[in-house]
Amino acid sequence: MEPIIHSLLETDLYKFSMGQAIYHQFSDYKTTWSFKCRNQDVFFTPEMVAEITRQIQLFCDLRFSEDELQYLDSIRWIKGSYVDFLRIWNPRFEDFDISTDDPCGLHLEVRGSWLNSSMYEIPTLAIVNEVYFRMHYNYSSLLVSYESRLDEKIRRLESGELNIGSFSEFGLRRRLSAEAEELAIKKLAEHKYPGSVFVGTSNVFLAKKYNLLAVGTMAHEWIMCIGQGCHRHNPSYSNWYALNAWTKEYGILNGTALTDTITTDCFLKDFQLTFATLFSGVRHDSGDPYAWGEKMIRHYERLGIDPKTKTLLFSDSLNFEKADAINSYFKGRVKVAFGIGTYISNDTDVPALNIVMKTTACNGVDVAKISDVEGKGMCKSEEYVDYLRRCIDWRMTHER
């Protein structure tokens, strides 16, 4: 196979958002990342694992070009010191542990500095995904079905049948292929829609290539590592530590807060007037989107903040129909935007993979996510998950 990842820009923007803050504030942190395939009927053959290994080796040979660094430097909130660091940065294949020793056929784990290991997640998942679909199916047939479905999606937006407001493409990690994702970006950007606006993509490489907005701020790893990776922190205050470090780095810039790392209710304990004012909005990634949106609107109102000045960004397993319904429901009450992933980047005649790479340890201790629904977390220690839940429950019960 040809190389799947062609540029170190071929990752989600939030990796650079978090990367800069990690570089300036947490450069000594160490993390472990673990791969998991949530599909029960998927198996990676030894030939697939060999190709995945080769593709990761090719990825580790890449370096940033001066043109790419100039592009990053042009982003308002990226600082020259971080760009200078990226000039000498490169992925390390030595950080990867890859084998066939797993029930799904693929064992994949990464250990190293947070600065390094965070940057591996998205390209690695894109590699695993593309290798699987090219080697397990007739890829040409899949691409035909993908383009046909994409054209129908665009038709429904163009006709005004669906009106989803502002939306971006978030599908790099689970895309059918680099070719398919680029096709979607190109076609979506070429058309105009009466009730929808294609804003851009989380894929920095394609945002640069097509002169679109690169979109993304923080991921769950940010809250997990800062709040739980420091032994002195009570993990139920993870959001406060993470939000405080973010505003130290960015002030009022680059501000969309992720709410569900240790439940949205616990997040709201820390998302009080200062943070709620500084951050331009919040992101939904689990649980009922309508109940979550209502909760956020009430929270802003209690703080004396007009919800119409804030943005609710929805990014949980969306399609255009769901986005249309959510957009209609909240219209006129709050700003709404959507980050839509697999539905744009890997909608074919066969089911998409549900694969993840999650931070499972930081600085030698377990870390975990407890989202607003069961099944989205991943931790190697049930004992630690129980401890984290008890910390959260105590705070929610006793703190006024």
pLDDT in tens, 89-104: 999 999 999 999 999 9
Contacts of 159 (CB under 8 A, 6+ apart): none
Q: Look at the alpha carbons of 119, 124, 125, 126 in this order and tell me if their dihedral is positive or negative.
A: positive
Phi, psi of 313 (to 5 degrees): -100, 120
Q: Which of 228-231's residues contact partners 24+ apart within 8 Å by CB, and which partners? A: 228/362, 228/365, 228/366, 228/367, 228/368, 228/388, 229/29, 229/31, 229/362, 229/363, 229/365, 229/367, 230/363, 231/363, 231/365
* Mean pLDDT confidence for 296-313: 98
- Predicted local distance difference test score (pLDDT) of residue 375: 67
Q: What percent of the chain clears pLDDT 90, i.e. is strictly above it?
A: 96
Tell which residue, 259, 394, 281, 398, has the closest CA to residue 334: 281
Burial pattern 232-266, b for ≥16 Cβ within 10 A else e, equals eeebbbbbbbbbebbbebbeeebbbbbbbbbbbeb
Tell me the pTM.
Answer: 0.96
Residue 343: both structure tokens together:
């539905």
* Mean pLDDT confidence for 271-281: 98
Regarding predicted confidence, which is higher, 375 or 364?
Answer: 364
Residue 178 zone, left/alpha/beta (φ > 0; ψ -120 to 50; rest):
alpha
pLDDT in tens, 164-203: 999 999 999 999 999 999 999 999 999 999 999 999 999 9
Taking 80 as the threshold, does the pLDDT of residue 376 lie above it? Answer: no
d(CA 394, CA 374): 20
Cα angle vertex 174, ends 137, 162, to 5°?
A: 105
Tell which residue, 89, 90, 87, 129, has the closest CA to residue 108: 129
d(CA 116, CA 32): 11
Taking 70 as the threshold, does the pLDDT of residue 347 lie above it? Answer: yes
What's the pLDDT band for 380 if we cut at 50, 70, 90? Answer: confident
> Quick count: other Cβ atoms within 10 Å of Cβ 227?
26
pLDDT in tens, 210-253: 999 999 999 999 999 999 999 889 999 999 999 999 999 999 99
> Quick count: other Cβ atoms within 10 Å of Cβ 389?
16
- Predicted local distance difference test score (pLDDT) of residue 106: 98
| β-bridge partners, 338 | 167, 314
- Predicted local distance difference test score (pLDDT) of residue 171: 97
d(CA 56, CA 51): 9
| β-bridge partners, 169 | 201, 340
d(CA 239, CA 225): 11
* Mean pLDDT confidence for 60-84: 98
Taking 90 as the threshold, does the pLDDT of residue 379 lie above it? Answer: no
> Quick count: other Cβ atoms within 10 Å of Cβ 186?
12
Q: How far are the Cα atoms of 52, 157, 195, 281 from residue 198, in angstroms, in the given order?
A: 32, 10, 10, 19
DSSP state of 313: E
d(CA 19, CA 27): 9
Read out DSSP for 345-385?
Answer: HS-SSSPPP-EEEEEEEETTEE-----SSTTS---S-HHHH
| β-bridge partners, 96 | 110
Maximum CA extent, the chain? 59
DSSP state of 76: T
Residue 270: both structure tokens together:
């820390």
Q: Look at the alpha carbons of 23, 24, 30, 35 in this order and tell me if their dihedral is positive or negative.
A: negative
pLDDT in tens, 318-339: 999 999 999 999 999 999 999 9
Tell which residue, 218, 227, 217, has the closest CA to residue 29: 227
